[in-house]
Amino acid sequence: MAVEVCAKAATGAPDVLGDCPFTQRVLLTLEEKKVPYQVHLIDVTNKPKWFLEVNPEGKVPVIKFDDKWIPDSDVITLLLEEKYPHPSLAPNPHFSSVGSKIFSAFVSFLKSKDANDGTEQALLDELKALDEHLKSHGPYICGEKVTAFDMSLAPKLYHLEVALGHFKSWSVPDNLTHVCNYMKLLFNRESFEKTKAAKEYVVAGWAPKVNA
């Protein structure tokens, strides 16, 4: 039986998968584990009544386990690992902080209106730290095998690449060769191709925050 997942629909296109990186993390996990699933696309500007009844907080993603809807991508991915242990995506817990500040640093830089406020440097520092880690332990965060940490970071790096490319004509510096290689490896995975939002929807999703 297919697992049911509620995912954000694209901005202005309610029948197309949207740009939520946390939803993509869950879908990536399902794809990598070859778990059959069915997606319910949720227009987050006009949430259906049934969705709010099963999930009063109204956040995506949520997944249905044993007739219960469960929110939060952290909780969901742990449950998937428990319920479908093969192939294992269990990571090395020692590396849990690797790359964990990249997304917030990216958002600060993306929203920044002042070129001298240090947000670009803060993002570069986080990417350099990731590059150093991958140099010693790569090509993935925990070595040769892709794990839950990569499933979490991949969608965030995709948003970083698309949104900063569009709004700031900025890209990850070429001298961070291990990060550039890591992004290529992740984005070329079949699971990633199948679950990513189209670039225009990533841009549309960030536009209100950039222009705020």
Return the CATH number of the domain spanning residue range 93-210: 1.20.1050.10
Does the pLDDT at position 2 exceed 90?
Answer: no
Annotated active-site residue in 6, 20, 142, 180: 20
| Average pLDDT over every residue of 190-205 | 97
Residues 18 and 201 sit within 8 Å (Cβ to Cβ)? yes
What tokens does 167 get? 């709004």
What fold does the segment set 3-83 form as a domain?
Answer: Glutaredoxin (3.40.30)
**How far from chain centre, in Å, is Cα 134?**
19
**Per residue in 64-84, is it b (16+ CB within 10 Å) or e — as a string?**
beeeebebbbeebbeebbeeb
Cβ neighbourhood burial of 11 (10 Å; 0-12, 13-18, 19+): buried
| Average pLDDT over every residue of 68-86 | 96
**Per residue in 30-43, is it b (16+ CB within 10 Å) or e — as a string?**
bbbbeeebebebbb
Does the pLDDT at position 107 exceed 90?
Answer: yes
Residues 101 and 126 sit within 8 Å (Cβ to Cβ)? yes
Residue range 20-29, pLDDT digits in tens = 999 999 999 9
**The pLDDT of residue 167:** 98
* E strand or H helix at 160: helix 148-168
| Average pLDDT over every residue of 167-188 | 98
| Average pLDDT over every residue of 103-120 | 97
User: Where, residue-wise, is CATH 1.20.1050.10 in the chain?
Assistant: 93-210
CA distance 152 to 100: 9
Confidence tier at 61 by pLDDT (50, 70, 90)? very high
**Single-letter amino acid, residue 109:** F
DSSP codes, 68-109: EEEE-HHHHHHHHHHH--SS-----GGGTTTTTTHHHHHHHH
Q: What share of the chain has pLDDT > 90, as a percent?
A: 96
6 in active site: no
| Average pLDDT over every residue of 43-49 | 94
CA distance 99 to 151: 12
Cβ neighbourhood burial of 53 (10 Å; 0-12, 13-18, 19+): exposed
CA distance 13 to 205: 11
Does the pLDDT at position 12 exceed 90?
Answer: no
Residues 37 and 3 sit within 8 Å (Cβ to Cβ)? yes
User: Where, residue-wise, is CATH 3.40.30.10 in the chain?
Assistant: 3-83
CA distance 149 to 159: 16
CA distance 106 to 164: 8
